[in-house]
Amino acid sequence: MYIVNHSRRTEAALLFFLVFLIFSLSRLFYIQFFRSHHLAEIAKKQHNLFIELEPRRGTIYDTNLKPQAVNLACDSVYGSPNEIPEKDKEVIIKQLQLLLNLDYGFLKGRLSRNKSFIWLARKISPEQSEAIKKLNLKGIGFVKESKRSYPNGYLASQAIGFAGLDNTGLEGLELYYDNYLKGEAGWAMILRDARSKTLDIYEKMILARDGYDLVLTIDEVIQYIAERELDKAFKTYRAKGASIIVIDPNTGEILALANRPTLDLNQHSNATKEQIRNRSICDLFEPGSIFKIVTASAALEEKRVNEEDRFFCENGTYRVANHILHDHRPHGWLTFRDVIEQSSNIGTCKVAQILGPEIISRYIKLFGFGTKSGVDLPGEIAGMTKDARFWSKTSISAIPMGQEVGVTALQLVNAISVIANGGNLIKPYIVKEIRDKQGQTIEAFSPAVVRRVLSPESVARVKKILIGVIENGTGKLARNLNLTAAGKTGTAQKLEPNGTYSHNKFIASFIGFAPAEEPVIAVVVTVDEPRGSYFGGVVSAPVFKNIANDVIKYLKTKQSTNEAVVLNEVKKVN
């Protein structure tokens, strides 16, 4: 009996082990053939970390290849909540809270998620990075990224614009050329050891393609001169705003562009809309007497008037329909030349009455007013003009002297460039070249003539009159003993909300070019709501004079230096 029972127990044990063996083999077979891929993926996630490789954003250079926007290497902190023991999370959160200056609730929320990768802080300072690395926190790692930096801070800030935290352009050239500057992201699978510590080993990788570089037409030195002089006027006259553009009238290259108020691009998150806005291309205003260059050019081109024709300026008061037109000071008889030099509204109106609305309207369009210039900057507006068929009975006394039209500063400098370059409207541009990181040109931009506006003969006659504006007329404060210049002043009343013209809010402006004989720069200066004095000839003309003097000196020195370099190279070759 004992033997029988013992035999049965032995058989039962063997049967149990046999069933267990069959179950284990079946389970192993199932895992190997049906669950292996899934489990391998889990193991892979534990030992591998998928990250995006950020491309290096392109550098923005001035025309002399001095960097205006660059990327600096920095660390970004990420967390792997799944790998941090629950008992350690509270300590880690408090440590990171102090070092990263982040909210406790934000960090707790991030590290409570069921994820293997989550950003905690992007693009931190080197000091913060070093401090966190010393703590050697489990589940906390770093990814190398880059941070946008602007070496000159305030210089050309509205033109250059800025990029956001993810290196995407948000304003200015950073936005307009974002597709070129940004590049293409790559990715990598980083290996980690059994303790989830990141190893400098990549299982798989697709390298990021870095962004292309921009070479601007802007010259850092000319930009500094323009900003310095504009800032003086802005502060002296406690103005609401101000703009300046310096352009090469022969090519359309923008050499400097500045606005006030302005911003430090490295602190752009704290900037207001007023500081960010590029007033030069997106602010609409009535130009005032500057606009008389259109009427003067049309009169000479159409051969309706010559320089010595005389006009009676009614001693300062002239009725047109139901409107009384005034001059800023009374005039009797003036020649056409004097009408422009002394900026007589009444004399200009009488010239306009000879021409008629259709001719004046046609020349307004020829000079580029009422349409976008096509400059490679975001936010440009077309301005506002009225077709001749919509002119009222009093428009003939308003439009020819810069009322009932809306323009931008860029349109004004384009218009004076027509006189400076011999009669052509040139398309302005601010980027000269797009390059890759090896310095190879991807795309180059060159001057483009939009259309011929005036004949060379008419240009020469208008130029002489505009020289007279500075020598004898309202622009005397723009006169420079070292060089000749041509220009026109403007003082425009601003509109009140009720549609009437203000008696205490003005825009003081000046457009001009130098040297008068062979112009190399054209300049527009506008000062919005200056206090104390408000005449363009007082507020803006001296700004032009100082800029023209210093810029032309600089350009001569630069040319001499370049010629010396070329001569030295020739000598070495020989």
| 3-state SS class at 433 | strand
| Cβ neighbourhood burial of 101 (10 Å; 0-12, 13-18, 19+) | exposed
Q: What b/e readout covers 434-472, taking b as 16+ CB neighbours within 10 angstroms?
A: bbeeeeeeeeebeeeebeebbeeebbebbbebbbbbbbe
Of 283, 230, 219, 156, the closest CA to residue 521 belongs to 219
In contact, 118 and 78? CB cutoff 8 Å: yes
The H-assigned helical ranges of 121-196 are 126-135, 157-160, 172-176, 178-182
Active site annotation includes 417: no
Q: What is the DSSP letter of 291?
A: G
Q: What residues are paired with 253 via a beta bridge? A: 429
Q: Is the peptide bond before 357 cis (omega within 30 degrees of 0)?
A: no
Task: Out of 157, 289, 373, 397, pick the active-site residue.
Answer: 289
Q: What b/e readout covers 386-407, taking b as 16+ CB neighbours within 10 angstroms?
A: beeeebeeebbbbbbbbbbbbb
Q: What is d(CA 341, CA 351) in angstroms, rounded to the nearest whole number?
A: 14
| 3-state SS class at 119 | strand
Q: Using alpha carbons, list the distances in angstroms from residue 182 to 166, 286, 373, 429, 527.
A: 10, 38, 26, 21, 36
| 3-state SS class at 350 | helix
Residues noted as catalytic: 289
